[in-house]
Chain A
Amino acid sequence: MERTWNNKAWFLVLPVLVLVAFSAVIPLMTVVDYSVQDTFGNNQFFWAGTEWFEELLSSSRFWQAMGRNLVFSAIILAIEVPLGILIALNMPKKGWGVPVCLVLMALPLLIPWNVVGTIWQVFGRNDIGLFGYYLNKLGFDYNYVQDPLDAWFTVILMDVWHWTSLVVLLCYAGLVSIPDAFYQAAKIDGASRWAVFRYIQLPKMQRVLLIAVLLRFMDSFMIYTEPFVVTGGGPGNSTTFLSIDLVKLALGQFDLGPAAAMSLVYFLIILLLSWVFYTVMTNYDAER
């Protein structure tokens, strides 16, 4: 059979292509453009080659920010995933408790990020913040403005408060899809509470858990607003994550070239990690 080539359909995707071009491709290319040039006042540009990239990759400032990011993601995953599972397991499965719990869980997710930052910024203050004030009253020497450890503690606590709900909701969705017969059979088979979790609940949650881990990792790796509002990256550079550093570089110091190089590297890291996650997940599906 002879194939008829009809390219009219391309016109249908044209609007999307134009939109994507203006919103993503062109800005990205501008960044690429900046990353290989040096800028001076009066819009003067000079070719810089790979200079910014070399400088970036050999700068300890970049690697330290990157290290902080990885440690931060690791800590919040280690807290939010088990905590989320634990809460989901203990949520009611039927009755009036279900909507109450769901609304309570959804609340932190509905609050704009900068508001979350502001809430904790005030909450943790020693003078007027309930949290900070009472911690000090109880004898803890807590001051997130001056102590790096306290700053980290605050930022992590804030993230756990803000995002554990997401893990809870995803796990809960996995849990309610388990038919009663499974629990009944487990009772008949004499399974312990742990065995029920290990062999019935966990396998059923596996897929949603992977998604939860992916989302939480991506989000925490790109975190900006909340720590920026609470600590501004301080004290010193102790909570300066990649994104905060990037904004300091680009908008604070107006070093467009180095900032552009950093954006690209940051972008490539996230792309790489997304790809790794995607591969792991699709492999897992194929195995089923």
Chain B
Amino acid sequence: MARIDLDHIRHSYLPNPQKETDFALKEVHHTFQEGGAYALLGPSGCGKTTLLNIISGLLHPSHGKLLFNGHDVTNLSTQERNIAQVFQFPVIYDTMTVYDNLAFPLRNRGVPEADVDRKVRETLDMIDLADWAKRKARGLTADQKQKISLGRGLVRSDVNAILFDEPLTVIDPHMKWVLRSQLKQLHRRFGYTMVYVTHDQTEALTFADQVVVMYDGGIVQIGTPAELFERPKHTFVGYFIGSPGMNVLPVEVDGKTAKLGSLAIVLPGTPEKTGDSMELGIRPEYVRLGRVGIGVSISKVEDVGRHKVVRAKLEGREIAAIVGEDEEIPAEPKLRFEPAGINVYADSWRVEMRA
């Protein structure tokens, strides 16, 4: 296992990057602690996979250094870095049996056959393919093939880190859940350093201790799932995490009050900084619907099972609120913002508030 330091890493796919926009990955300076479970979360094309491939050595960064346990590995090949990586789409060796597929990474490294057998059998049990061991891999379903890919990632116990590049995309929902909990268990048992790329927030939040949210080639926030939920550093994090995402309303800030059109909302404190555009962010979970507060008109109620999502209009703006499954929606509904859930953003970045 290793601690991974990304030292001012930037990457561009262009031969001569000039502008900031030429970079697929803007400067990243971060440390993945030894034995940590991290998720890289972000929309497609935000640079997650680029970052992952730089760690595994499939890509050489244009700028910056990469260190494993303090040793510079920037110029080492993938093989020398001793990394396991699982890809989005199943990669299997068609002509081999399931067993040989799993044994492949071990045999390539000259592991004694007795150890190979022990490790492969362990892994087969883990991915629940023990009965298929002797079968040719090409006849399997996409699910099973991806499990083999996962298995090949997990079969070596001496790796510096295990990287996952949206590994569960092709797996069906039930199996996804099972495999994710297995990965989590493995992490607890063996303490692998794991980096998991995904665009699915549930996956990221359930898998990782620390979630790295990426947007447009840069890291916007690194934090625990709770931090990302309560204190999104950037409005993007607010939108991207949560279902539905955070309500972001353009406001004018004057001391402790935020003006939204003709409405005045009392803030829990005075923002330390103001910018050209100020916004108030509040998660639907903190928007209370009742008989006191600001009058709104409800446009839609979505019952999602555990709770109801109420879509309403406030000063001409869409706003979402979450209401308990058996709570009643009053005839003349009024909104109230819970002070604990209010965040203020100056030019899309969160600002602290003084009491």
Contact = CB atoms under 8 A, between A and B. Distances in A.
Nearest to B95: A203
A288 B77 CA distance: 35
Nearest to B89: A181
A262 to B, nearest CB: 43
Interface in B70-110: 77-79, 83-85, 87-89, 91, 93-96, 104-105, 108-109
A228 to B, nearest CB: 42
B215 to A, nearest CB: 25
A189 interface: yes
Contact of A190 (B58, B108, B138, B139): B108
A195 B110 CA distance: 13
Contacts, number: 53
A182 interface: yes
A191 B153 CA distance: 14
Assign chain A's interface to a size class.
10 to 19
A177 interface: no
Interface in B129-159: 138-139, 149, 152-153
A185 B149 contact: yes
A199 B58 CA distance: 20
B56 interface: yes
B58 A184 contact: yes
Interface string A154-181: 0000000000000000000000000101
A12 interface: no
Interface residues of B, number: 27
Nearest to A189: B105
Chain A interface helix/strand/loop/mixed: helix
Nearest to B91: A185
B78 A187 contact: yes
Contacts of A185: 85, 87, 91, 149, 152
A192 B56 CA distance: 17
B109 A190 contact: yes
A188 B95 contact: no
Nearest to A187: B78
A188 B78 contact: yes
Nearest to B84: A188
Contacts of A200: 93
Given A188-B84, A190-B105, A190-B109, A179 B56 contact: no
A141 to B, nearest CB: 47
A192 B96 CA distance: 16
Contact of A181 (B91, B96, B153): B91
A188 B83 contact: yes
Contacts of A204: 94
Given A188-B83, A188-B85, 4 more contacts: A181-B87, A184-B58, A187-B79, A188-B56
Interface of A: 179, 181-182, 184-185, 187-192, 195, 199-200, 203-204, 288
Interface of B: 53, 56-58, 77-79, 83-85, 87-89, 91, 93-96, 104-105, 108-109, 138-139, 149, 152-153
19 contacts: A179-B89, A181-B87, A181-B89, A184-B53, A184-B58, A185-B149, A187-B57, A187-B79, A188-B56, A188-B153, A189-B108, A190-B108, A190-B109, A191-B104, A191-B108, A199-B94, A199-B96, A204-B94, A288-B139
